[in-house]
Structures are given as C-alpha cells and as structure tokens.
Amino acid sequence: MSFAPPTIVPSESLAQEAAKWMARSLQDALATRPRASLALSGGGTPGPAYRALADLKLPWERVDVFFVDERFVPPDHADSNYRLVEDTLLKPLRLPSSQVFRMEGEREDRDAAARDYEAKLPPVLDVVLLGIGPDGHTASLFPGHPALEEQQRRVLSVVGPKPPPWRMTLTLPVLLSARAVLNLVAGAGKADAVRRALAGDLSLPAARVTNTQWMLDPAAAGR
C-alpha cells in the first residue's frame, strides 16, 4: 500500500494549513457522529498548528482531546506533551477538563498508567496528528523497538532513544484504525526520513502508518 501524495505547503502557512486540515477532519466526523475525538502529538513542530486550531470556529463542546504519546514527566513539566497542548489549545479554548483525556506521565507505575489509558480511549479515533523524527519514529514508536510489533495492547509504556526516554504511546493498531491521520513535518533535518518513509521503507515506524496524509514544508520535502 502506498501513501496519498504529500501536501507541500510554504513554511509560513504550514501551521495554518495543518489547523485547517484538523478542523475539516473534525467537521467530517461530527457530520455523522455526536462527538469527535482528536489525538495530538508533542514535539517542537505542532505547537503553532494547535494555536492556529484554537482560533478556528468549531463546535468544540463536541470534541474530546486525547494524546498520541506522552513523556513520563509531571503535566506541568517543560517536556510534557500535555503541557504543550494545554498552553497552545486547551487554555485558549477554555476546554473543560471533562473533554480532555490526559496520559498520566507523573505515574510511577508506567505499565498501569498505560493500561489505564487504554480504558479511556474510544474504539476508533477520528482525527490524529503525528510527527516524524529524523530516525523515522512516529508517536513514541522507535525503529527496531518491539512495541512496533504489538497487536493486542492499544497503549504501551516504552523506553526510547529520544530524551526524555520513558514514554507512553498509542500502538500501530490504534493509529491504523483512525479515521483521519496527518503527519506534519517541517525542516531539512527530516527530509531523509520523509523520503524513506514515503518510499515505503518499513524499518521506519512512520512508514507503517499507511493511512497517513503527509503535510510537509519545502525543506522537509527537499529529498
């Protein structure tokens, strides 16, 4: 199976275009269902897209926010994906906590935290925002890690090479069953990983999420 052709967007409008893609996908889900689920990644790339999304008009009272992955740090830590999403999306929208399903990175028992998150996840996620690392990881699914082969568990705690090392992540079956998935990528440092993933190099975890639409800036598309 191959990917849909990537969308290439000027760097200055990447955040806005990603926000519009998320909004459209949420609207599509809400057209046929009472509520929609949105699962978000961390990292350095998506913050501006979340800020742009917060400015878009949507029936936010019908949207539930989930997480693709989380670092095992407290929610107010600078490395917390929750904190990123809180600062850029949840606070600007004043989204009530009843609509926010956080991965509990502050827990000592990491496996129990992952199992508890499985219980919170809906059967199918409507909209998922991913990123890719220069090594081809996506979510906190790293190249060569046994978590990549997981078929039963929907959420796992893993140790990865990207600091901070302890992570919680959705697994491939969850990502592959999602209704709309975007991989948002910026910068020349990702160009080689993007090229290899789009060419179907399955040693890259991002290449395994075959239902992904890619949105790249020209530097990330450079190879």
Ligand X SMILES: O=C(O)[C@H](O)[C@@H](O)[C@H](O)[C@H](O)COP(=O)(O)O
Alpha-carbon span 150 to 131, nearest angstrom: 20
Task: Please identify, among the stretches 101-109, 125-133, 196-204, 214-222, the one whose residues bind ligand X according to the rule CB under 6 A.
Answer: 125-133
Taking the alpha carbons at both ends of the chain, their separation in whole angstroms is 21
Q: Establish if 136 lies at the interface with ligand X (CB under 6 A).
A: no
Task: Please identify, among the stretches 100-108, 136-144, 146-154, 194-202, the one whose residues bind ligand X according to the rule CB under 6 A.
Answer: 136-144
Q: Establish if 96 lies at the interface with ligand X (CB under 6 A).
A: no
In sequence order, what are the residues at sequence separation of 6 or more whose Cβ sits closer than 8 angstroms to the Cβ of residue 132? 138, 183, 185, 190, 193, 194, 197, 204, 206
Alpha-carbon span 180 to 111, nearest angstrom: 28
Tell me, rounded to whole angstroms, the distance of Cα 158 from its chain centroid.
16
Instruction: Give whichever of 42 and 95 is closer to ligand X, judged by the CB atom.
Output: 42
| From candidates 6, 105, 131, 136, binder to ligand X by CB under 6 A | 131
| From candidates 80, 81, 171, 212, binder to ligand X by CB under 6 A | 81
Alpha-carbon span 66 to 89, nearest angstrom: 12
Alpha-carbon span 187 to 1, nearest angstrom: 26
The nearest distance, CB 84 to ligand X, in angstroms, is 8
Q: Establish if 68 lies at the interface with ligand X (CB under 6 A).
A: yes
Q: Establish if 103 lies at the interface with ligand X (CB under 6 A).
A: no
Alpha-carbon span 18 to 32, nearest angstrom: 22
Task: Please identify, among the stretches 26-34, 39-47, 172-180, 208-216, the one whose residues bind ligand X according to the rule CB under 6 A.
Answer: 39-47
Binding site for ligand X (CB under 6 A): 41-45, 68-69, 81, 131-133, 137-139, 162
